[in-house]
């Protein structure tokens, strides 16, 4: 059985989708939910599921490597096989990504390679894109740039605000991320492109 540590900074809806998927014959189980924000709602939700949690406040450390060393030490305590970033909003150094190369995945709310970084939904709307979506990828030293493991698409509808589009994409994140994690934990790194759900919009 693979052990999965989930890193987050916010409400943790993707963490919930991942954690709740890891039951039965799933090849992995959650071993830790860790946040850089002690007030992250995702920590409360993880505890309610009975998952061990940890908060390592990045503001308590002088620089990124010092913060990451503390995260690394806490991770080692839980011995994860896989790290799943789920709305973890800290940029990671090459030292950290290198230590977890091939074992760390992330969900990003755009159809990569489009719109790395922030404000992905507003950028898709401003560009006049007909489609938006989300991607799960392996984490490498370059931001939002590792091999893509899966994508899901939604239409951009006339009059959409960034919040409208974010909500539509988030529904697909909750389908895509558990499906990709399950395959990844079983050693399958082939790409998964989810078919659009008819009638979801
Ligand atoms: C999700 O939309 C995720 O794709 C995004 O943050 C949100 C977290 O929501 N991640 C990034 O933007 C990473 N660059 P959640 O806390 O409800 O899962």
pLDDT at residue 201 greater than cutoff 60:
no
Question: Complex ipTM, two decimals?
Answer: 0.99
Q: Exactly one of 58, 108, 121, 174 is catalytic; which is it?
A: 108
Cα(62) to ligand 1 centroid in Å equals 26
Positions at the binding site: 12-14, 64, 89-92, 106
Average confidence (pLDDT) over 65-73:
98
Summary mean pLDDT of the chain: 97
Nearest-CA residue for ligand 1 atom 9 is 87
pLDDT at residue 32 greater than cutoff 80:
yes
Q: How confident is the model at residue 156 (pLDDT cuts 50, 70, 90)?
A: very high
Provide the pLDDT for residue 196: 79
pLDDT at residue 68 greater than cutoff 70:
yes
Provide the pLDDT for residue 200: 52
Q: Is residue 65 in some structural domain? A: yes
Nearest-CA residue for ligand 1 atom 10 is 87
Q: Is residue 8 in some structural domain? A: yes
Q: Is residue 51 in some structural domain? A: yes
Is 108 in the active site? yes
Q: Is residue 117 in some structural domain? A: yes
Q: Which atom of ligand 1 is nearest to the CA of 106?
A: 13
Provide the pLDDT for residue 198: 67
* DSSP string covering the chain: -EEEEEEESS--HHHHHHHHH--TT-SEEEEEEEES-TT-HHHHHHHHTT--EEE--GGGSSSHHHHHHHHHHHHHHH--SEEEESS--SPPPHHHHHHTTTTEEEEESS-TTS--SS-HHHHHHHTT-SEEEEEEEE--SSTT-SPEEEEEEEEPPTT--HHHHHHHHHHHHHHHHHHHHHHHHTT--S-EEPPPPTT--
Measured from the CB, is residue 176 less than 6 Å from ligand 1?
no
Positions at the binding site for (6R)-10-formyltetrahydrofolate: 64, 89-92, 106
List the single range of 49-63, 129-143, 149-163, 184-198 with lowest mean pLDDT: 184-198
CATH code for position 105: 3.40.50.170
pLDDT at residue 27 greater than cutoff 70:
yes
Query: Beta-carbon neighbour count of residue 128 at 10 Å?
Result: 7
Cα(86) to ligand 1 centroid in Å equals 6
Measured from the CB, is residue 28 less than 6 Å from ligand 1?
no
Measured from the CB, is residue 7 less than 6 Å from ligand 1?
no
Domain count, the chain: 1
pLDDT at residue 190 greater than cutoff 80:
yes
Q: Is residue 195 in some structural domain? A: no
């Amino acid at each position: 059985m693979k052990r999965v540590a989930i890193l987050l900074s916010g409400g943790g809806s993707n963490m919930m989708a991942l954690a709740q998927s890891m039951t039965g014959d799933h090849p992995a189980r959650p071993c830790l939910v860790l946040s850089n924000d002690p007030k992250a709602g995702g920590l409360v939700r993880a505890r309610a599921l009975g998952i061990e949690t940890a908060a390592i406040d990045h503001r308590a450390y002088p620089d990124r490597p010092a913060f990451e060393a503390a995260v690394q030490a806490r991770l080692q305590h839980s011995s994860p096989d896989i790290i799943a970033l789920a709305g973890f909003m800290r940029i990671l150094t090459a030292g950290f990504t290198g230590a977890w190369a091939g074992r760390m995945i992330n969900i990003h709310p755009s159809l990569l390679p489009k719109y790395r970084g922030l404000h992905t939904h507003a950028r898709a709307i401003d560009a006049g894109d007909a489609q938006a979506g989300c991607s799960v990828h392996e984490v490498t030293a370059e931001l939002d740039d590792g091999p893509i493991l899966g994508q899901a698409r939604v239409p951009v509808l006339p009059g959409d605000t960034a919040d409208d589009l974010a909500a539509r994409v988030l529904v697909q994140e909750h389908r895509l991320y558990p499906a990709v994690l399950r395959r990844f934990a079983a050693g399958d790194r082939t790409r998964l492109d989810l078919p659009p759900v008819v009638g979801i919009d």
